[in-house]
Amino acid sequence: MAHGLPDFGVTTSKAQLYAGVDMAELAARLGALPRYDRLGDVIFYEDFCGGLGAWETEISGLGSEVVVTAERFVTGGFSCRMTAGSNLLRYAGIRLRVPVPYSVMYGVELQRTWHADEAYEYVLIDVYTGAYHLAFGIRYDKATNLNSYYNAAGGWTAMPGVVLPYDESHNFIAAKFTFNISTLRYSRLLVPPKLIDISSYIGFAAPDGVSKPRMECAGRIYADPATNPVSYVDSLILTANDK
């Protein structure tokens, strides 16, 4: 953005770049979009201050809903509140569709809360290239207290070790995972302060010459029977050219 002189006048060109000190001050005041991992180029950022216009909502069961609220937040003043249903399929979720950027290494980072009555939750990325359907995802199960990855068979496989969400509805938990659509391998799972190497795990791939090229990002929570757990998603970031 040009700066340094009034908008009128043509005798002197404006400066187009801020000095390093200016950038440092601006970063300190505004904060960074990727708060816990600075790798990758941000291609999509959502803090729900503009509502749910970019998202599809998915609900099932009595009492299920997806709304924007100012009850809980960390960054922009709003968050997405997902309430899972108490019967039927007992879930609530959101889904985003964006064009597929030119890259092979992607990441997804989000901040959300965990509720004691959640049975499990997941984030799933589907990539349709025009020739293949690729999918990568991370899931947490309360019953096993383990994280799982979306595998080559189109199911979930538990990973060794424990990454336990805090059982506190006011505490936002950050998480990020990255994956390579060329090698079909995962790369990193970050749940601060833990950084886990997941590069030995392989994602899903199947021929698909029918679906239009796109990337989909979906997040869902599932309830224990006869409960209505609430999860707040403060922000979500998609990155390309990640590690």
pLDDT digits (tens, 9 = 90+) for 151-165: 999 999 999 876 666
Tokens encoding 96:
């985003």
Q: Is the pLDDT of residue 28 over 90?
A: no
Cis link prior to 160 (omega < 30° from 0)? Answer: no
Report pLDDT for 32: 52
Which amino acid type is present at position 213?
P
* Domain layout of the chain by residue ranges: 36-240
pLDDT over 90 (residue 183): yes
Token pair for 51: 């509502």
**Cα–Cα dist 243/239, whole Å:** 10
Residue 28 three-state SS: helix
Strand partners of residue 58: 93
Render pLDDT for 64-120 as a digit per residue (tens, 0 to 9): 999 999 998 888 889 999 999 999 999 999 999 999 888 899 999 999 998 989 999
Mean pLDDT of 57-66: 98
Average pLDDT, the chain: 86
pLDDT for 39: 84
pLDDT score recorded for residue 1: 46
Which pLDDT band holds residue 38 (cuts at 50, 70, 90)? confident
Q: Which of 2-6, 47-51, 134-138 has the highest mean pLDDT?
A: 134-138
CA distances from 219 to 4, 12, 24, 26, 131 (A): 44, 51, 34, 32, 25
The CATH architecture assigned to 36-240 reads Sandwich (2.60)
Q: What is the mean pLDDT of residues 192-214?
A: 93
Gyration radius of the chain over CA positions: 20
Query: What pLDDT is stored for residue 170 in this prediction?
Result: 64
